Amino acid sequence: MKIQNQSRLPKVKTLVLACTLMPFSSVFAAEDPINQPPLTTPVQTNSINQSNQQFEQQSQATQQAIDSATLDSQPIITTTSNYQAVGDNTKMFGAQMFRGAFASTSGANFNSSYVINSGDNIQIRMWGAYQFSATMTVDPQGNIFIPNVGPVHVAGVRNGNLQNVVKSAVSKIYRANVGVYASLQEALPVRVFVTGFVNQPGYYSGVAADSVLSYIDRAGGVDPKRGSYIDIQIRRNGRIAQQVNLYKFLLAGQLEPFSFEDGDVITVAPQRKTFSIDGEVQNAYTFEFDVDNLTVSDILDIANPTPNATNISISRGVDRALKSEYYTLEEAKDLKVYNGDKFVVTSDRYASTIGVQVRGAHVGNGVVVLPHGATLKDVVAQIRPSETANLTALKIYRKSVAEQQKRNINTALDKLQEMSLATQSITKEEASLRQIDAQMIDRFITKARKVQPDGMIVVQQTAWQDVLLEQGDVIEVPEKTSVVTVNGEVRFQNAITFDPSMTVGDYIAKSGGYNTNADKKNIIVIHPNGENVVVKTDYVVKQGDQIMVLPTVKTKRVEIGRGISQILYQIAVATKVVLGL
């Protein structure tokens, strides 16, 4: 069965028309992905490929990505591995709707399309030659009784037409000098069953005008692993009263109004066929579909590739093996999509230039465009350092380095947490001490997970000219400074003028000495170029150095103390901040 009233839908090249609904009894006849034909089977363009201005920009973006690909047509690369379940990091498209926003929403009083039912409360006000004001309940016959006017039938009238219906009835008795105002004061409460593949099936209260989204949200939303977003039925007295496709709402803003009654049943069917798409796309999701003629071109219209996208890989289970193939976007556009397919859109265009940002003590451009393979020497040749620039301490910040630093810190925190939970206590006193340790560790881990490494690369003064740059690098030209900073576990965190005769101990003394929580054996000096060393108090400081005194880890568990100390060091180096315990 096709989507009802398909002729009324906008002809969009999207999944709105791709999600054709079948009878509920046949949803279990899902297509077997193991017996699917090869990937290279093209299909003919059909109604799903029709255009629409509403999604014209997305279609143009896809075509631009295809047209701008500079690679020549490549032969298909096919790899086969033993079949196994493949993890998918993409989210189910539609799951983002059910986070509680609809559950608490009820707009019956202001919904002009709401159909008035028996039990609704309507406020009537009359003024002029005859005055009357009351709140009236619609009786079982669908009427309200207005004195001197008689019964007025309002059941089945839309809220937006209520005023006209009541005014028409009153004007038959009072032809002049009497005004009337009618408004829906309180909609009839109803209870609706929500069942099928939702997270919390049950019997939920609301009002007749609440949308199907509100009731599903109250039931915890569609189960994203098992439920369907394109096959939802509203049943009344055992018959289908309305079929709902939530993709029509998400992609085209279409949701037919429905007036619920007590005992109505909302049924979410099992999930239909799915595909997932990730990589160089703006909409990386797992999508549900229920047609046999969906193509790669159709799914790219929905996923909206980035301008850099050039190629697509397709993974599919065939004959108990996982088969992967690789195409340009142009080659893949007519390929058929099957249940369980996994797509990854990539950018294989070779970058001929890179852009790096330059900040700090210079008077040149803030962004420098260089050929691919450029080095730090090439940047220095293009910028105009100021008179106070310290070119011996150039700094490079790189996003990939910051991400790796963050992963390393999180890995160390995970190991620390496992270590904390793994040790068992023998005595009651030992259990109490371990509980105190566990609370301290939890607080530390919570704070440590929030740190953001800066991704700074240490540039050695002997080889700085040959450092290769990457797209997006940030180069900082520091100012020459005559200040040494002291922070961490000292009484006063200070910036002190440089004295070549002073040692680390001297600078700490000028900062009020150590705090009671200081680790006197764990002092780090970070040089202006980012290089760091663990030192003793007799270490002679250089101009522009940063002294960091780390805290003592107070625990009787040696392995825990060692783990926290290592993480404190990692954070200090990666963020230039001493994290307290």
Q: For the domain that residue 201 is a member of, what is the CATH number?
A: 3.10.560.10
Per-residue pLDDT tens over the stretch 126-147: 998 889 999 999 998 999 999 9
326 and 295 in a single domain? The answer is yes
Q: For the domain that residue 172 is a member of, what is the CATH number?
A: 3.30.1950.10
Residue 306 lies in a domain: yes
Confidence of residue 425 (pLDDT cuts 50, 70, 90): low
Residues 310 and 333: beta-carbon distance below 8 Å:
no
For position 24, what pLDDT does the model report? Answer: 33
502 and 555 in a single domain? The answer is yes
For position 335, what pLDDT does the model report? Answer: 92
Per-residue pLDDT tens over the stretch 383-410: 888 888 888 888 899 999 999 999 998 8
404 CB-contact burial (10 Å; exposed 0-12 / middle 13-18 / buried 19+): middle
> Looking at the 3D structure of the chain, how many domains does it have?
4
469 and 556 in a single domain? The answer is yes
Amino acid code (one letter) for 436? I
179 and 318 in a single domain? The answer is no
Could you tell me which residues are beta bridge partners of residue 174?
Answer: none
- Closest by CA position to 361, among listed 386, 334, 398, 330: 386
291 and 339 in a single domain? The answer is yes
Place of tokens 């530390």: 444
For position 133, what pLDDT does the model report? Answer: 92
496 and 563 in a single domain? The answer is yes
The verdict on pTM exceeding 0.75 is no
Per-residue pLDDT tens over the stretch 284-332: 999 999 998 999 999 999 999 998 888 888 888 777 666 778 888 998 9
Per-residue pLDDT tens over the stretch 190-234: 899 999 999 999 999 888 878 899 899 999 999 999 999 999 999
45 vs 255, higher pLDDT: 255
Percent of the residues in the chain that have a pLDDT greater than 70, as a whole number: 79
Q: Using the predicted structure, report yes or no on whether residue 454 has a pLDDT greater than 80.
A: yes
Residue 361 lies in a domain: no
Could you tell me which residues are beta bridge partners of residue 127?
Answer: 179
Could you tell me which residues are beta bridge partners of residue 322?
Answer: 81, 317
Q: Using the predicted structure, report yes or no on whether residue 475 has a pLDDT greater than 50.
A: yes
Token pair of 284 as six digits = 């990386």
Could you tell me which residues are beta bridge partners of residue 102?
Answer: none
Please identify, among 157, 186, 215, the residue that sits at the C-terminal boundary of a domain. 186
480 and 543 in a single domain? The answer is yes
DSSP code, position 423: P
- Cα(188)–Cα(209) distance, integer angstroms: 9
- Cα(367)–Cα(364) distance, integer angstroms: 9
199 vs 559, higher pLDDT: 199
For position 83, what pLDDT does the model report? Answer: 30
Which structural domain range is residue 433 located in? 402-575
Residues 512 and 492: beta-carbon distance below 8 Å:
yes
462 and 541 in a single domain? The answer is yes
- Cα(107)–Cα(18) distance, integer angstroms: 31
